[in-house]
Amino acid sequence: MNNWQQSSIVRQPAELGKIIVDPAEWYPNQMDGQDFWIWEMTEEELSETKEAIAVAEIKNRDLLDIEKNNFSLPTLGNGLSKISKELTNGRGFVLLRGLDADQLTRKQYATAFWGIGRHIGDPLCQNAKGHMLGHVKDLNADYRKVRGYMTNAHMAFHCDQADLIALGCVHNAKSGGHHMVCSSVSLYNEMLRREPDAVRILGQLFYRSRQGEIPPGETDPWVRQPVFGFQDGYFAARGVSAAIEKAQGLPGVPVLTPAERDALQLFKDMAPELAIEIPFQHGDILFLCNHVTLHSRTEFEDWPEQERKRYLIRLWLTTRGARPVPEEISRWSNGVYTEETKFYAPLEAA
């Protein structure tokens, strides 16, 4: 049974230094053990999804060729329209449940994941290699040199470089690897109540490393963004992740002050207190709005068998300005690419 409910809270204009009233403010005790944030697919929705997969297979379509208008979801599409609005102007996260990744081939699940995602937004490139479909898997890489999704390390609460992110669970880890989500609106409000000076500091621009992924026409190895930003009465946050620390030492980047480090640390300390664990089942798809939610992952131990290793597939999606965000954030919410990048959608991690 689908018990999903739309948020009923009415947003009020937001500004730095004042408590925010927004439907994206929520707390763990409101979400834990509840299912109103989970969209359970009906048999009809599952059937039409499988039919759409079959059509894509018959047409031998590459994922990049699958669009909303050729991945027909007459019933589920209406639900995805509601989900899209809830992501942009509601709670900011929805779990879509019903697909069984264990009963589909990798390409079939990726096709369903991509096709459903196209009903929510337009895909963006996720790295300089040109990956339009991302793969979250431990590749035995060094977190000091690569982004965290390629490791089994704990990842601090952060946002990705897109309006929305979609994560499809192919397989869970042997232990750990729990996906955590918190409301950045709630975090802002709680920090404001505890340390208002820290909130003011986090409203300033911070340097973040691009980790060598510099788009055409740009030369700076860093970007500058506020952790807490505001635009036209809307709130938008960025996470406090390794990118800020990795920017230290880059040309032109000033050393963080003790007050800035204290504010960043308070953010890191408080985010886990306000987070919920997403109970991933194989096949689940989690949608998050990066402007009002933060996500994290605990360190994990993997299965020895290759086919059982923790594995998520990922989409970065743009909503083409559906929610106002500061220019410093919107400018860097269009994915990752360089002058040499060629876009494609790989079916395996690489």
Q: Could you tell me the pLDDT band of residue 336, with boundaries at 50, 70 and 90? A: confident
Contacts of 142 (CB under 8 A, 6+ apart): 151
> Mean pLDDT over residues 120-146, rounded?
84
Q: Could you tell me the pLDDT band of residue 128, with boundaries at 50, 70 and 90? A: confident
Distances in Å between the alpha carbon of 103 and those of 166, 170, 178, 191, 349? 20, 11, 23, 44, 20
Contacts of 145 (CB under 8 A, 6+ apart): none
Rounded Cα gap, residues 47 and 249, in angstroms: 54
Q: What is the 3-state secondary structure (H, E, C) of the chain?
A: CCCCCCCCCCCCCCCCCCCCCCCCCCCHHHHCCCCCCEEECCHHHHHHHHHHHHHHHHCCCCHHHCCHHHCCCCCHHHHHHHHHHHHHHCCCEEEEECCCHHHCCHHHHHHHHHHHHHCCCEEECECCCCECCEEECCCCCCCCCCCHHHCCCCEEEECCCCCEEEEEEEECCCEECCEEEEEHHHHHHHHHHHCHHHHHHHCCEEEEECCCCCCCCCCCCEEEEECEEEECCEEEECCCCHHHHHHCCCCCCCCCCHHHHHHHHHHHHHHHHHEEEECCCCCCEEEEECCCEEEEECCEECCCCHHHCCEEEEEEEECCCCCCCCHHHHCCCCCECCCCCCCECCCCCC
Rounded Cα gap, residues 183 and 275, in angstroms: 7
How do beta strands 285-289 and 164-171 pair? antiparallel
Write out pLDDT tens, residues 202-238: 999 999 998 878 888 888 999 999 999 999 999 999 9
What integer best gives the mean pLDDT of the chain? 93
CA dihedral 142, 144, 146, 147 (to 10 degrees): 110
Q: Is the pLDDT of residue 111 over 80?
A: yes
Rounded Cα gap, residues 234 and 116, in angstroms: 27
Q: Which residue has the higher pLDDT, 170 or 156?
A: 170
* pLDDT score at 116: 98
* pLDDT score at 143: 63
Q: Which of 33, 89, 26, 86 is nearest to 274 (CA)?
A: 26
Phi, psi at residue 235, to the nearest 5°? -95, 145
- CATH code for 28-330? 3.60.130.10
* pLDDT score at 303: 81
Rounded Cα gap, residues 98 and 281, in angstroms: 9
Q: Are 187 and 274 in contact (CB under 8 A)?
A: yes
Q: Are 319 and 164 in contact (CB under 8 A)?
A: yes
* pLDDT score at 150: 67
Q: Is the pLDDT of residue 149 over 80?
A: no
User: pTM for this one?
Assistant: 0.94
* Phi/psi-derived region of residue 97, left when phi > 0, alpha when psi is between -120 and 50, beta in every other case: beta
* pLDDT score at 261: 97
Percent of the chain with pLDDT over 90: 79
Q: Could you tell me the pLDDT band of residue 12, with boundaries at 50, 70 and 90? A: very high
Q: Are 246 and 266 in contact (CB under 8 A)?
A: no
Q: Residue 78, Cβ neighbours under 10 Å: how many? A: 12
* pLDDT score at 226: 97
CA dihedral 121, 280, 344, 78 (to 10 degrees): -30
Q: Which residue has the higher pLDDT, 137 or 75?
A: 75
Q: Is the pLDDT of residue 135 over 90?
A: yes
Greatest mean pLDDT among 17-31, 136-150, 303-317: 17-31
Write out pLDDT tens, residues 51-107: 999 999 999 999 999 999 999 999 999 999 999 999 999 999 999 999 999 999 999
Write out pLDDT tens, residues 259-284: 999 999 999 999 999 999 999 999 99
Q: Are 21 and 185 in contact (CB under 8 A)?
A: no
Q: Which two tokens stand for residue 220?
A: 């700076």
Q: Could you tell me the pLDDT band of residue 142, with boundaries at 50, 70 and 90? A: low
